[in-house]
Amino acid sequence: MLKIVASTNGSTLNTSDLSRSLGVSNSTTNNYLDLLEGGYFIYRLQPYFPNVTKRVVKSPKLYISDEGILHSLANISTFVSLIDHMIVGSSWEGFVINQIRFKVGNKVELYFYRTQVGAEIDLLIVKDNKPHVAIEIKNSNTPSISKGFYLACEDVDVEHKYIITKSEGGFTLKNARVMGLVDFLTRELDNLL
């Protein structure tokens, strides 16, 4: 099961597909997922669906909690093989979300947001029941941000917009702050909470 989950790391969870792949019922699959999440092997990032008129994705995204385990399950043994592997983007996304999850604890709620037409926020920090920070995660030092991120930010009326990249330093791109993960965690996040 973990190998199948690893191959879909960072994707929206489709329990029916997972059940078919495993040859078990949906309820058994959900029990397995609950056990894996309870043991901190995986986590489900829930979707944010406010009262908007848009059709939004309502299935959670599924992540392996430890990127080392993810890489092992995907038979990735070196950094060079990771860079060329198809999971490099979802691995980076999961790593960034994990670091933010650990830093914020229970101070805020974390979600993702995606409409059926593709407007998406990789990580949405909700504070006092209101969308507060939208984060786009890019496995690049020179990110190009889709129109969908900005449309999603308008949908949820978020106050702060960030693009987290692999490099440190920062600049502004269309009213979103672009910065590396370490800078975000050490210089920005505490002020946003």
Q: Identify the pLDDT of residue 72.
A: 86
pLDDT value, residue 53: 59
Running DSSP on this structure, what letter comes out for residue 184? I
Per the structure, how many domains does the chain have?
1
**Low-confidence residues in the chain, pLDDT < 70:** 51-56, 169
- Report helix angle 26-38 to 15-22, nearest 10: 100
Q: Over the Cα atoms of the chain, what is R_g? A: 17
State which residues form the domain around 154.
Answer: 2-192
- What confidence score (pLDDT) does residue 96 get? 93
Give the CATH number of the domain where residue 178 resides.
3.40.1350.70
DSSP string, 105-158: TTSSEEEEEEBTTS-EEEEEEEETTEEEEEEEE-SSSS----HHHHHHHHHHT-
Which pLDDT does position 54 carry in this prediction? 62
pLDDT score of 52 = 59
Q: What is the pTM of this model?
A: 0.87
Task: Name the strand (E) or helix (H) holding 165.
Answer: strand 160-165
